[in-house]
Amino acid sequence: MFKTKRYVGFTLVPAIMLTTALTGCTKESATEKASTKPVTTAAATQVAKESLPPVELNWAMPVAGTGAPKDVALVEAEINKYLKDKINATVKMNMIPFGTWADKSNVIISSGESVDILFTAGWSNYRQNVIKGAFIDMTDLIDKYAPKTKAALDPAFLAGSKVNGKNYALPTQKELAHQYGFLYRADIAEKYNMDLSKVKTLDDLEPFLKIIKEKEPNMYPILAGQVQNNSLTLNLDYDPIGDATIPGKLVPGGNTTVINDLATPETKAIFTLWHKYYTAGYMRKDAATVTDITSDRKAGKFFLTIGTLKPLANEEISAANGGFPYKQIYLRPASINGNDTQGSMQAISRTSKNPERAMMFLELLNTDKYLNNLVNNGIEGKHFVKVSDNVIDFAQGVDAQNSGYYPGVYWVFGNQYLNYFYKGQNTTKWDQFKSFNASAISSKLMGFNFDQEPVKTEVAAIANVNAEFNAGLSTGTLDPEVYLPKYLDKLKQAGVDKVIAEKQKQVDAWLAAGGNK
């Protein structure tokens, strides 16, 4: 059973789309012992190279920006030269912008398109796709072809991402815990002598937001948009029990009674506060309908953003969004739930003709430092240069904005502990990640997966109700005094009580069977 850990501090969700994970580690672990020189996977050494026929692996994954980097073909060529000698395979990287990932990944799966490796996550319909049969059971493949990756992963990653006791995806080695709070522009705070270190709640932000509204007319005090919706109520940190958009959660640190989280006084209070901030002009007027806030981020047109944090998240958002300096403030203790173990994973599609070779590739991606950084950072000398053994900088004349290869999603591409640090980054980052993970409290339902099948009709109806109300309430656009009762009434009509009862039934049965012991 996973031990309950002591509380500490608070990580961006589809602020996933806001932060991008970067680089390396300072202490040596089983994974970090991988050399920057070419290495061979355990799987490849078990099979004579001449017995491995050449194959091409198609890999679909989301990336930041509006499309694949222009130099992706050059990087692919380097990757494939390297893989030829290792596992006699080539890889085709199908990079899909985050803005269209949900739709395009659904098309890939529903159409039966031939793909070998497919990025997945709890927030990207992982469990639903497992139930559909989209991914193969890779439990035995991990043991046989990715033993080093398995040994390096925190056991919680594989335990928490199982569905009916089987692993259908290989988690990324990254931060495991999450911690909610906000990031703010440090240079603007300094300009107006604002000390945000004493902020303990979202209510405490008002004096600072007022200053920004008055002094910086071209800046939004709060970054808000439809893509940010979940990050507001997530600050209450209810244990989601699966899809965070479906009501029926656990109170953090409480018992295992499933509640309608949208009907609590705390949820109403946070909607009310956000409506107050919206009415005061602290966020853009079209926040409920705008779906692309990329330009706002790149131009630094906001003072603060609410979401999930992790150690040095401020450095990541700075690197990915114009280089503006940010600081972060935690508002909740650090914790770990089942969704955290499913935040970034690679699955092998049921359409793959070469699942063994796909797993060999994933073992290399997660244990071979050279390959990992080639995928993440591009070609040495063209896209980056070495400053020291584990620190890099952009090549001459290149930066994050004009680089021909800067995917900006380090947390998507395999073991983050192998990533190089960019010059100026804190090289204790991975040590901080380890401490962060160890300090958090684990969910009482770690390893539990909610099966939506018995209530799939109600879940679909709830999704339609969410689409009608959630964006407006979560961005403060709608008055909760008027619209929250309507929201709750329509959820009841959609069958939310039946969904909550089904969640409770499954939770009770899982606990009675021994839970995560």
User: How sure is the predictor about 337, in pLDDT bands with cuts at 50, 70 and 90?
Assistant: confident
Tens digit of each residue's pLDDT (9 = 90 or more) over 414-433: 899 999 999 888 899 888 98
Residue 292 belongs to a domain: no
| Helices within 165-236 (DSSP H only) | 186-191, 206-215, 229-233
| pLDDT at residue 19 tops 70 | no
Domain count, the chain: 1
Residue 367 belongs to a domain: yes
| Distances 129 to 123, 125, 168, 478 between C-alpha atoms, Å | 11, 6, 10, 33
- CB contact set of 219 (below 8 Å; sequence gap of 6+): 188, 212, 300, 301, 302, 303
Q: What local confidence, expressed as pLDDT, does residue 231 receive?
A: 54
Residue 130 belongs to a domain: yes
| pLDDT at residue 7 tops 70 | no
User: How sure is the predictor about 516, in pLDDT bands with cuts at 50, 70 and 90?
Assistant: low
| pLDDT at residue 26 tops 50 | no
Average pLDDT of the chain? 86
| pLDDT at residue 154 tops 50 | yes
Residue 227 belongs to a domain: no
Q: What is the domain extent for residue 119? A: 42-175+341-414
- How open is the CA angle 307-253-184, to the nearest 5 degrees? 20
Rg (CA), the chain: 23
- CB contact set of 140 (below 8 Å; sequence gap of 6+): none
The crossing angle, in degrees rounded to 10, of helices 480-494 and 265-279 is 140
Looking at the DSSP assignment, which residues form a beta bridge with residue 167?
A: 162
Tell me which residue of 327, 321, 324 sits closest to 296, measured CA to CA. Answer: 321
Residue 469 belongs to a domain: no
Residue 261 belongs to a domain: no
pTM (two decimals): 0.74
Residue 199 belongs to a domain: no
Tell me which residue of 311, 325, 323, 340 sits closest to 123, measured CA to CA. Answer: 340
| pLDDT at residue 45 tops 80 | no
Looking at 369-503, which runs of residues are DSSP E strands? 384-388, 391-394, 421-422, 441-442
Question: In this structure, what token pair is assigned to residue 403?
Answer: 């680089």
Residue 383 belongs to a domain: yes
Q: What are the b/e assignments for 356-366, b being 16+ CB within 10 Å?
A: bbbbbbbbbbb
Only one residue has tokens 């300072």, namely 26
Mean pLDDT across 118-146: 94
CATH number of domain containing 75: 3.40.190.10
Q: What local confidence, expressed as pLDDT, does residue 340 receive?
A: 87
Tens digit of each residue's pLDDT (9 = 90 or more) over 242-271: 888 889 999 887 789 999 999 999 999 999
Q: What local confidence, expressed as pLDDT, does residue 49 receive?
A: 54
Cα separation, 83 vs 41, whole angstroms: 11
